């Protein structure tokens, strides 16, 4: 017998406990119906009055209210992605100050790890609890993490701050997408989500420039202090705005919390958390040179992660549609193809934003500010292509050609960037970045495709799954890139500059001054050392090329769908699809 869905992401064949939860939170109209049965009046077939818990909402904003909501949400989204990239031009200075070059992978890895581990649970929380206040709670945690980073006195302290910020981030990206989706009708979501993601991408791409300015002229700590005043303005403004929900939810109460906890798939989370942690630890310890890759500790961590992931997937399969990652949803071709396209393209971007400044500072010898300025060709190109695809998509309607075009451009650009060396001319590194910026034409299309492919009751869960995959994959690929870069530095130093200890290279950091302090100016050793950093960067660029290439193939599975066509909202369930109301509540 079918059961009536409670909320988005819970399918029609959800387990009995979902049906029981819905039965317990019926509005007063249900009680009225059962009362008529007890008094002998046959009104069981009459439809309930008013919207029911889990029904789709048609409550949208317009005018100034919509502008205020978009402004505050986009500002938070901007700060969120700014925080992920602003650190890139500051990393050389931070590693030099803390003497911690092997830790640089954790500066992004710890942030991404805590965010990825909690992200699936946040999707469940947004399903049942008020979107606005949950979103602001996550944002408060993010701000606390930013403050800890700003006042850090050591590398471990700084890593803890990044981890706390990651905890807050876990609910911000999918929360912002959920808020905007609920505020506008379906046929307009592609445009407004494009504005939101485009604003966030602006923060991602200008982060290195802002980070360079702070690092060179003030202090790298302002890369994190800046989040506090901007966040305060956006948070207060959002707190004063009415935020529409996509579905009807019961008002928050302790009773709702007690009933929802069993539906959060905490067992699945307990399997996933150690699996993700063990995997990232194995990559980090191996990449930092702390342990050899064939050491018993590294092997043990990989084995433990593998076993935990197997248990996690088995449990998720058994949990069915109440799992934190429902397999029935993931099997949808548009969902997994769009997720793969989004993940691979953004992972290439995250890796690039972290290692471009290292090339410009260590190899080209410029300071943090100029290394950020040298990223402007990629920044401007990406913004142009974001606007280009947004305007044309509203006219053409079909997003697949733009996704393929973005993947091809990013792959070609990354491949050309992998040819950079010590003597690369200014025209070449500008032109190659312009080509790499073509990625902007499809960087937001994964979200648009999933929003159009799933019914309203599953769209937020689908976006949550996409954001989770992107966050976790970025954490993995950033650490993988650090592994590649660090190992290449060690091997290339031994091959090209045997007179310099590789440990000294790792300890020095990657700022222009630190690298050039390792060998006499104008000496053959310094020339060879610059080639060591250039060769190591090129290998990381190979990884970027491969990731961008994956997005091309994934794009073809996103579906030939016209986004201009209005998708019908979820139909109300008929009485025959629901459990009979209990007559005990008179």
Task: Write out the residue range of the structural domain in which residue 181 sits.
Answer: 63-265+324-499+525-555
- Do 117 and 194 have their domain in common? yes
- Do 98 and 210 have their domain in common? yes
Q: Helices 296-319 and 266-287 meet at what angle, rounded to 10?
A: 160
Mean pLDDT of 385-397: 80
Residue found under tokens 């070609």 = 412
Judged against a pLDDT cut of 50, whether residue 6 lies above it is answered with no
pLDDT tens-digit readout, 505-545: 888 878 888 899 898 888 898 999 999 999 999 999 999 99
pLDDT tens-digit readout, 47-84: 555 555 554 555 677 788 888 888 999 899 899 888 88
| Residue 449 contacts residue 561 (beta carbons within 8 Å) | yes
Last residue of a domain, one of 276, 298, 323: 323
Q: What is the pLDDT of residue 4?
A: 38
Among candidates 330, 327, 331, 338, which has minimal Cα distance to 553?
338
Mean pLDDT of 127-153: 89
Tell me, rounded to whole angstroms, the distance of Cα 135 from its chain centroid: 15
**Residue 173 within a domain:** yes
- Do 300 and 402 have their domain in common? no
Mean pLDDT of 90-111: 76
Q: What is the pLDDT of residue 434?
A: 95
| Residue 286 contacts residue 298 (beta carbons within 8 Å) | yes
| The pair of three-digit structure tokens given for residue 232, joined into one six-digit string | 């305060």
Q: What is the pLDDT of residue 565?
A: 67
- Do 213 and 311 have their domain in common? no
**Residue 17 within a domain:** no
Higher pLDDT, 41 or 179: 179
The C-alpha atoms of residue 51 and residue 391 are separated, in whole angstroms, by 36
pLDDT tens-digit readout, 543-579: 999 999 999 999 999 988 877 665 544 443 333 333 3
Q: What is the pLDDT of residue 277?
A: 79
Mean pLDDT of 170-174: 86
Judged against a pLDDT cut of 50, whether residue 25 lies above it is answered with no
- Do 471 and 331 have their domain in common? yes
**Residue 45 within a domain:** no
**Residue 24 within a domain:** no
What's the pTM value of the predicted model, to 2 decimals?
0.76
- Do 304 and 183 have their domain in common? no
- Do 406 and 494 have their domain in common? yes
CATH number at residue 68: 1.20.1250.20
**Residue 519 within a domain:** no
Q: In sequence order, what DSSP letters do the residues of 197-244 get, joined into one string?
A: HHHHHHHHHHHHHHHHHHHHHS-TTHHHHTHHHHHHHHHHHHHTS---
Number of domains in the chain: 2
pLDDT tens-digit readout, 250-292: 666 677 777 777 777 788 888 888 887 788 778 767 765 667 7
On average, the pLDDT of the chain sits at 79
| Residue 332 contacts residue 454 (beta carbons within 8 Å) | yes
- Do 353 and 410 have their domain in common? yes
The share of the chain scoring above pLDDT 90, in percent, equals: 26
The three-state (H, E, C) secondary structure of 320-353, written as one string: HHHCCCCHHHHCCHHHHHHHHHHHHHHHHHHHHH
Last residue of a domain, one of 293, 308, 323: 323
The C-alpha atoms of residue 445 and residue 454 are separated, in whole angstroms, by 14
- Do 286 and 310 have their domain in common? yes
**Residue 586 within a domain:** no
Among candidates 191, 176, 158, which has minimal Cα distance to 79?
176
Judged against a pLDDT cut of 80, whether residue 458 lies above it is answered with no
The C-alpha atoms of residue 177 and residue 118 are separated, in whole angstroms, by 17
| Residue 284 contacts residue 159 (beta carbons within 8 Å) | no
**Residue 138 within a domain:** yes
- Do 275 and 182 have their domain in common? no
pLDDT tens-digit readout, 316-360: 888 877 777 888 888 889 999 999 999 999 899 888 877 998 899
**Residue 287 within a domain:** yes
Q: Which of 195-204, 324-333, 456-465, 512-521 has the highest mean pLDDT?
A: 512-521
- Do 317 and 442 have their domain in common? no
- Do 150 and 283 have their domain in common? no
Last residue of a domain, one of 287, 305, 323: 323
The C-alpha atoms of residue 420 and residue 362 are separated, in whole angstroms, by 13
């Amino acid at each position: 017998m079918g059961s009536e869905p409670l909320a988005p992401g819970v399918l029609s064949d959800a387990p009995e406990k979902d049906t029981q939860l819905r039965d317990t939170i019926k509005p007063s109209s249900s009680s009225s119906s059962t009362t008529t049965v007890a008094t002998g009046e046959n009104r069981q077939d009459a439809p309930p009055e008013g919207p029911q818990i889990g029904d789709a909402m048609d409550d949208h904003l317009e005018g100034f209210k919509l502008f205020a909501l978009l402004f505050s949400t986009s500002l938070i989204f901007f700060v969120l992605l700014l925080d992920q990239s602003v650190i890139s031009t500051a990393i050389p200075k931070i590693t030099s100050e803390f003497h911690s070059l092997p830790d640089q992978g954790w500066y992004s890895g710890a942030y991404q790890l805590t965010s990825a581990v909690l992200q699936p649970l946040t999707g469940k929380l947004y399903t049942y609890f008020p979107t606005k206040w949950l979103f602001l709670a996550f944002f408060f945690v993010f701000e606390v993490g930013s403050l800890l980073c700003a006042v850090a006195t050591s590398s471990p302290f700084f890593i803890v701050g990044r981890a706390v910020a990651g905890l807050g981030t876990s609910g911000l990206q999918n929360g912002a997408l959920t808020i905007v989706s609920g505020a506008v009708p379906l046929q307009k979501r592609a445009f407004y989500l494009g504005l939101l993601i485009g604003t966030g991408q602006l923060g991602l791409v200008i982060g290195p420039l802002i980070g360079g300015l702070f690092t060179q002229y003030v202090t790298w700590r302002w890369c994190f202090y800046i989040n506090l005043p901007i966040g305060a303005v956006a948070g207060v403004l959002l707190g004063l705005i009415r935020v529409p929900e996509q579905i009807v939810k019961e008002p928050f109460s302790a009773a709702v919390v007690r009933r929802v906890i069993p539906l959060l798939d905490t067992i699945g989370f307990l399997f996933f958390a150690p699996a993700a942690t063990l995997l990232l630890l194995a990559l980090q310890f191996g990449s930092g040179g702390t342990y050899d890759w064939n050491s018993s500790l590294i092997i043990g961590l990989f084995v433990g992660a593998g076993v935990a992931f197997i248990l996690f997937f088995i449990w998720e399969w058994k949990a069915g549609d109440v799992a934190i990652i429902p397999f029935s949803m993931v099997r949808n071709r548009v969902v997994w193809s769009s997720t793969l396209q989004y993940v691979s393209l953004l992972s290439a971007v995250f890796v690039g934003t972290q290692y471009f400044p290292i090339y410009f500072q260590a190899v080209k010898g410029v300071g943090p500010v100029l290394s950020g300025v040298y990223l402007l060709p990629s920044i401007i190109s990406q913004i142009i292509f974001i606007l280009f695809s947004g305007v044309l998509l509203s006219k053409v309607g079909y997003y697949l050609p733009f996704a393929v075009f973005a993947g091809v451009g990013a792959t070609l650009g990354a491949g050309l960037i992998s040819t950079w060396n010590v003597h690369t001319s200014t025209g070449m590194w500008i032109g190659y970045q312009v080509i790499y910026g073509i990625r902007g034409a499809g960087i937001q299309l994964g979200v648009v495709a999933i929003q159009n492919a799933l019914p309203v009751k599953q769209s937020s869960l689908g976006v949550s799954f996409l954001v989770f995959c992107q966050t976790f994959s970025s954490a993995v690929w950033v650490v993988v890139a650090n592994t590649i870069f660090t190992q290449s530095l060690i091997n290339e130093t031994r091959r090209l500059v045997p007179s310099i200890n590789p440990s000294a290279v790792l300890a020095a950091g990657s700022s222009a001054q630190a690298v050039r302090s390792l060998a006499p100016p104008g000496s053959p050793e310094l020339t060879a050392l610059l080639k060591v950093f250039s060769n190591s960067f090129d290998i990381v660029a190979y990884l970027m090329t491969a990731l961008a290439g994956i997005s091309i193939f994934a794009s073809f599975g996103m579906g030939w769908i016209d986004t201009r066509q209005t998708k019908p909202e979820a139909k109300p369930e008929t009485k025959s699809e629901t459990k009979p109301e209990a007559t005990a509540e008179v």
